[in-house]
């Protein structure tokens, strides 16, 4: 949804923009192309390898693009340290990139046998293997159910803990985890593949603490938007999209009074408006071109013009 993202995000080609999830630089490249010489893009990513790729890809833009190895939950303090007090737009393209999924060494996919890592930031924090070693059965089952939507969560968690107690002592590789999943799910190849995809998704979300970062980062980005500036969020997972929707609805709410029976007394101060009531979805053409785009939901929020301290 690159065209939609750029169309919704850029309201002033001379503005300062944040790409909070620069990844391989696909969106960042198109955004940078649309900025004038006075415009500037700051690109964050937790993944140093992705940042290095993006840096090479965008080198022709010179100083117009700056890259920061950072977790977007720290965006307020990082932008403050860069001397940036307001931005014209922010993009969050949540989750993992195709580059990460297709990298056999990272452990994001069950298609290759590799170390069970699954961290966006390869320089810090526990890996998925560490998490599976240290977490109890109950919590493993909860994560597989809540973040993966896996209906065999309990049986899988039991099998994972049993494997840990076996001669291998731990689950260190994607192949080892896939064999545990296969034993629980049984013969059907499609069911095994679907369960493996759900288990790997759940592990990725918990290892990178993805859902906790969103309620910190999105309000922080809203606070930094200048009048008429836009926040654009692409989510691919229903849990993420649900969170984004409720944060943006809350930010656009004009009244918090329990019942609108009399005059508003809550003094609500909406920060802007949702540009579309429903999220934008990929076109049928884009879905057939790129099946991974199918789940995408794009939400756009616009900071109110000169509304600070007033109700819309």
Ligand X SMILES: C[S@@+](CC[C@H](N)C(=O)[O-])C[C@H]1O[C@@H](n2cnc3c(N)ncnc32)[C@H](O)[C@@H]1O
The binding site for ligand X (CB under 6 A) comprises 21, 23-27, 44-47, 50, 71-73, 93, 95-97, 120, 208, 213
Shortest approach of ligand X to residue 257 CB, angstroms?
Answer: 35
Which single residue is written with the structure tokens 């993992």?
A: 96
Select 72 or 110, whichever has its Cβ closest to ligand X: 72
The rounded distance, in Å, linking the Cα atoms of 41 and 162 is: 49
Shortest approach of ligand X to residue 55 CB, angstroms?
Answer: 13
Select 21 or 173, whichever has its Cβ closest to ligand X: 21
Whose CA is closest to 116, among 40, 178, 52?
Answer: 178
Select 46 or 88, whichever has its Cβ closest to ligand X: 46
Shortest approach of ligand X to residue 221 CB, angstroms?
Answer: 12
Select 100 or 173, whichever has its Cβ closest to ligand X: 100
Phi-psi region of 271 (alpha: psi -120 to 50; beta: other; left: phi over 0): alpha
* Residue partners of 158: CB distance under 8 A and separation at least 6: 137, 141
Q: Strand pairing partners for 92?
A: 233
Select 75 or 160, whichever has its Cβ closest to ligand X: 75
Select 44 or 110, whichever has its Cβ closest to ligand X: 44
Shortest approach of ligand X to residue 70 CB, angstroms?
Answer: 6
The rounded distance, in Å, linking the Cα atoms of 311 and 308 is: 8
* Sign of the C-alpha dihedral computed for residues 100, 191, 116 and 216 taken in this order: positive
Shortest approach of ligand X to residue 265 CB, angstroms?
Answer: 38
Select 91 or 181, whichever has its Cβ closest to ligand X: 91
DSSP state string for 241-307: HHHHHHHHHHHH-S---S-TTSS--S-----EEES-SS-B---HHHHHH-GGGGG-EEEEEEEPTT-
Shortest approach of ligand X to residue 269 CB, angstroms?
Answer: 28
The rounded distance, in Å, linking the Cα atoms of 306 and 46 is: 34
Shortest approach of ligand X to residue 57 CB, angstroms?
Answer: 9
Which single residue is written with the structure tokens 């900025």?
A: 35
């Amino acid at each position: 949804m690159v065209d939609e993202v750029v169309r919704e995000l850029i309201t002033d080609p001379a503005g300062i923009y944040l790409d909070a999830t620069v990844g391989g630089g696909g969106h960042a490249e198109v955004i940078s192309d649309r900025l004038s010489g006075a415009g500037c893009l700051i690109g964050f990513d937790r993944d140093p390898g992705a940042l290095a790729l993006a840096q090479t890809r965008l080198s022709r833009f010179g100083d117009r693009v700056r890259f920061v190895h950072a977790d977007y939950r720290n965006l307020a303090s990082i932008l403050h340290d860069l001397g940036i007090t307001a931005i014209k737009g922010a993009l969050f393209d949540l989750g993992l990139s195709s580059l990460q999924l297709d990298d056999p060494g990272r452990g994001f996919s069950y298609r290759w046998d590799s170390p069970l890592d699954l961290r966006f930031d390869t320089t810090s924090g526990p890996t998925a293997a560490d998490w599976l070693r240290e977490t109890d059965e109950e919590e493993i089952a909860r994560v597989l159910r809540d973040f993966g939507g896996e209906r065999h969560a309990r049986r899988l968690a039991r099998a994972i803990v049993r494997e840990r107690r076996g001669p291998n002592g731990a689950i260190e590789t994607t192949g080892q985890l896939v064999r545990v999943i296969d034993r629980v799910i049984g013969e059907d190849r499609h069911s095994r593949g679907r369960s493996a995809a759900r288990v790997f998704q759940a592990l990725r979300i918990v290892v990178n603490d993805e859902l906790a970062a969103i309620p910190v980062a999105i309000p922080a980005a809203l606070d930094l938007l200048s009048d008429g500036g836009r926040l654009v969020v692409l989510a691919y997972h229903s849990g993420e999209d649900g969170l984004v929707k409720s944060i943006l609805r809350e930010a656009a709410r004009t009244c918090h009074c329990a019942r609108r029976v009399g005059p508003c007394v809550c003094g609500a101060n909406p920060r802007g408006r949702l540009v579309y009531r429903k999220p934008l979805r990929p076109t049928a053409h884009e879905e057939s071109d790129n099946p991974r785009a199918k789940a995408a939901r794009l939400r756009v929020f616009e900071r109110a013009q000169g509304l600070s301290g007033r109700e819309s």
